[in-house]
Amino acid sequence: MKEELKGRIEIIDKALESYLPCIDNPQGEIYRAMRYSLFAGGKRLRPILMTEVCSMCGGDAEAVMPFACALEMIHTYSLIHDDLPAMDNDDLRRGLPTCHIKFGEAMAILAGDALLNKAFEIVSSHDHKDPNRAMKAISLLSASSGTEGMIGGQVADLAAEGREIELDELRYIHLLKTGAIIRSACVIGAVIAGADSEEQQAVDDFAKNLGVAFQIRDDILDVTGTEEELGKPIGSDAELSKSTYASICGLERSEELVKEYSEKAKLALGIFGEKAGFLLKLTDYLTDRKS
């Protein structure tokens, strides 16, 4: 699976490179900061999900690549801002100094802003084969990263710091903060491929359950993992007095929930038959991961 993912990551990195090359001009520092975080060795999970769903639904993965790259830039911007002292105050990301440690807080804020803007520059300027599908995809992209999506989840997450919350509230936070752009990654792939409403719903159900399983595994790893494995400090959730699946449910029940949600995710892809093979394997790989 690692070898299969490596090949897909190389394709996505090549596309990202074409959209964000090295630029030497008076504002060159912003490009260096953007590229530093974008090419810091991410899993490329969201673009891989988008391109694989597109292929599964009978589409051309190349047609969805601008959206895949845009979403990865949005994801990266969120990590840059998440690491800032005003947010999670992290010094390491993927084993490297975080953007604000490397370039300073002001440049990190601007790098995040610039990646968000670049994302929508890419998808709005591309010559899409089907403009109607592209408009729907742009709408999904913006909604999933906005106040009713990722940013809304971050706001709810900040509001929950330092107090005990119920599992339903935690699930709500993660469905927005982590789950929203995972869902849009998958549904955009289906939309660009021309999937019908039943297929789009199946893909959305898959992504929703995968997002929850992925987040629970993250919560477990924040307790059981090592800094070397994760490439970032462990125990940061506890330091910020954040409620997690591990703190609310305990590690044993959290492991059970990972399995339950990952099984639901795989069942949702039943209508695609053998075409879902890679995504089924990917689900197991992601939910069993150690980093």
199 Cβ contact partners less than 8 Å away, ≥ 6 residues apart: 57, 190, 271, 272
104 Cβ contact partners less than 8 Å away, ≥ 6 residues apart: none
Q: What is the pLDDT of residues 116-128, one digit of tens each?
A: 999 999 999 999 9
The residue behind tokens 């969805």 is 64
CATH number at residue 66: 1.10.600.10
Local structure of residue 291 (DSSP, 8 states) = -
Q: How many domains does the chain have?
A: 1
171 Cβ contact partners less than 8 Å away, ≥ 6 residues apart: 212
The segments of the chain whose pLDDT lies below 50 read none
Task: Using the Cα atoms of residue 209, residue 214, residue 215 and residue 220 in order, give the sign of their dihedral.
Answer: positive
pLDDT at 73: 98
Range(s) of the domain holding residue 35: 2-287
Q: How many CA atoms lie within 13 A of 4 on its CB side?
A: 10
HEC states along 122-191? HHHHCCCCCHHHHHHHHHHHHHHCCCCCHHHHHHHHHHHCCCCCCHHHHHHHHHHHCHHHHHHHHHHHHH
